[in-house]
Amino acid sequence: MTTLDHSYVEKGSWKPDLFKDKVVFVTGGAGTICKVQTEALVLLGANAAVIGRNEKKTKDAAADIAKLRPGAKVIGIGNVDVREVQDLAGAVKQTVDELGKIDFVIAGAAGNFLADFNHLSTKAFKAVVSIDLLGSFNTVKACFEQLKKNKGAIIFVSATLHYYGVPFQSHVGAAKAGVDALSNALAVELGPLGIRSNCIAPGMIDGTEGMARLTPPGSDPLQTRVPLQRLGTTRDIADSTVYLFSPAADYVTGTVSVNDGGAWHMGNFTGNLYPKVIIQQLSDPVSKL
């Protein structure tokens, strides 16, 4: 996993203090991708609220991020379930009380696991859709007054799974398709208020939990099927985040920034899973409702 340090500012593409006096509210901020997104913004001058369910993990992540820049204010707010809008409303209030405002929102809380349709219960399907899609809606809903007041910007962390059929990922694909649709609708509705809404769709990002879970067993090195011939890094996602929140993207809204090295053009990566393994799973008589 890529973790950022001061070289991101000293040797990177972005000018120091790009986000001075800005505040970002990040759900899933202790996760692999969202933590590095937050690190980049804090290194470039922002203060941040890291939101998560696991209180210790969330507070530890916030403390780590705060060390990156002298004077940075980064708070960790745990015990927040994005499926409960009142939890998020409380986190927004604490953020405004402690950091003064919210300019940027990253809706990054997500759930995922491998499950074929036969073994995917309705409860499990609902859980993923509720975290990924309803949680994204709730996040923006809770932050709306601050976004309106500060002419803020939103980034939803999406995926490329729904660009084609990916076995064992029907729940996540459906949820992320909804996230894209939500972002597009908000771009149109909230644009007159000065609020921008965009998605970032990571592809295969090296060192992430998702990558470890979703790599087909026994497959060829996946980077050989990526046009740019490498796996992505969390820094790639961080750079897209910085761009979309920066003044350089002031006229960019309603877009999906696909960060996958062109891999989605190559079709899905099921490899030797299809169709033998899938038929085997679907033939299993045990099916959970």
Strand partners, 51: 27, 77
In the set 136, 158, 170, 183, the catalytic residue is: 158
* Strands (E) located in the chain: 23-27, 47-51, 74-77, 104-107, 153-157, 196-202, 256-259
In the set 35, 176, 183, 197, the catalytic residue is: 176
Q: Which amino acid is at 121?
A: S
Instruction: Report which of 86, 133, 125, 104 is spatially closest to residue 29, judged by C-alpha positions.
Output: 104
DSSP annotation string for 138-170: HHHHHHHHHHHHHT-EEEEE--SGGGS--TT-H
Give residues with Cβ within 8 angstroms of 187, minimum separation 6: 196, 197, 198, 253, 254
- The question of whether 176 is a catalytic residue gets the answer yes
- The question of whether 197 is a catalytic residue gets the answer no
Say if residues 197 and 244 touch (Cβ distance below 8 Å).
no
Q: What is the largest CA-CA distance in the chain?
A: 59
Q: Could you give the 3-state DSSP secondary structure of residue 24?
A: strand
Give catalytic residues, as residue numbers: 158, 176
